[in-house]
Chains A and B, each alone.
Chain A
């Protein structure tokens, strides 16, 4: 018996007699045993969910759904919130370049006119009714988060430096390092290996301090033009800052100007990678789980 048949079997007994009900529960138990169905998706297919917005009326955002067929992106509404979805015959999406960009493209299109709480990649439900059921179940949390994020955009700021160049500069500008370096070069000490180790440690420390100072100054420069910020782990050894900023939609230009000002201040020393607007990925973390019903 495949899960499709079991599913149909559950539908009827639910509202009927006790004996049948226990049979239905038995069916439920077996359903949870099967994580991956072997069946092909039904003709109607599933629903890929991109995110949640506030909307009282059903909306359509055009033909740009994930999966390559350009399915219409529309909303499934529950009271005054709605899920942004498109039909799909695929249930498990791989985060390929095409898929990830399609997911993001839809969210960004919706974001032009709505505050959207983004869904992470690859969430597919079976039917519109299933989605309404989920919206109903987590309605209060969604409303609250939507309100908190209303009219706000996320911007990304990654700052890289040229480590070697900074080291060269330190050898000139840091008095302690400069002297030590000169000494090693001049004396050809026998202990040169250990001396170089020590120099390395001094440079490392100076580098960390320098990076920390830059990052503090950059955060300080942007503090007054944004709502919140998050500090992510830098990627690779050239990056000293990997931050996300939450900015009021109507202060976007101000934030832009502040980023440009601080970038100009550092000139060639630091390289700024500035991206956005994004939906508030870094400022919302809602984890959903599956729970057995109370009955």
Chain B
């Protein structure tokens, strides 16, 4: 059997799997804010919240739950709510 390699952007599922939350990510909340902000004139700036690159060889050894429940990414939701809170806090402080 010869495996045909499909070019990246042919199947929507594979594309969405990558473009929605991988690479350089700005929270949806901040993206909304950017619409109303002019970064040059306003006293706020975009900074790196976290940065990770994965250059090691990760082998799969966790194949116990083939039909497991969807994974809840705890860290992510915490980060999001923290960001939201911070925005609100900064408003109050100022």
Contact = CB atoms under 8 A, between A and B. Distances in A.
B55 A227 contact: yes
B74 interface: no
Interface in A261-295: 263-264, 267-268, 272-293, 295
B66 A219 contact: no
B23 A31 contact: no
B46 A137 contact: yes
B78 interface: no
A141 B29 CA distance: 22
Contacts of B91: 29, 32-33
A256 B5 contact: yes
B23 A119 contact: yes
B27 to A, nearest CB: 7
Contacts of B24: 51-52, 117-120, 123, 284, 286, 288
A266 B11 CA distance: 24
Interface in B1-21: 1-12, 14-16, 18-21
Interface stretch (A73-81, A102-110, A175-183, A195-203): A102-110
Interface of A: 3, 7, 10-11, 14, 24-25, 28-29, 31-37, 46, 51-52, 91-92, 95, 97, 100-101, 103-105, 108, 117-127, 129-130, 133-134, 137-138, 141, 145, 148-149, 155-156, 207-208, 211-212, 215-216, 219-220, 223, 226-231, 233-234, 237, 240-241, 243, 246, 256, 259-260, 263-264, 267-268, 272-293, 295
Given A145-B51, A276-B8, A241 B25 contact: no
Does more than half of chain B's interface fall in helix, strand or loop, or is it mixed? mixed
A290 B35 contact: no
Interface in B40-60: 40-60
Given A35-B32, A276-B8, A285 B46 contact: no
B78 to A, nearest CB: 13
Closest 3 CB pairs of A and B: A118-B23, A293-B43, A104-B9
Contact of B6 (A32, A274, A286, A293): A274
Given A101-B15, A215-B63, 8 more contacts: A25-B94, A121-B19, A124-B31, A133-B39, A133-B40, A216-B61, A263-B1, A286-B25
Contacts of B25: 120, 285-288
Contact of A117 (B23, B31, B45): B23
B81 interface: no
Given A29-B94, A284-B24, A274 B49 contact: no
A257 B30 CA distance: 43
Nearest to A134: B46
Nearest to A12: B41
B35 A275 contact: no
Nearest to B59: A219
26 contacts: A10-B42, A32-B87, A35-B32, A35-B36, A92-B31, A97-B12, A101-B9, A104-B19, A120-B21, A120-B26, A134-B46, A138-B48, A148-B55, A208-B66, A211-B66, A226-B57, A228-B57, A240-B66, A260-B3, A272-B3, A275-B10, A286-B24, A286-B52, A287-B50, A290-B45, A292-B90
Contacts of B29: 35
B35 A7 contact: no
A14 B26 CA distance: 27
Contacts of B57: 219, 223, 226, 228-229
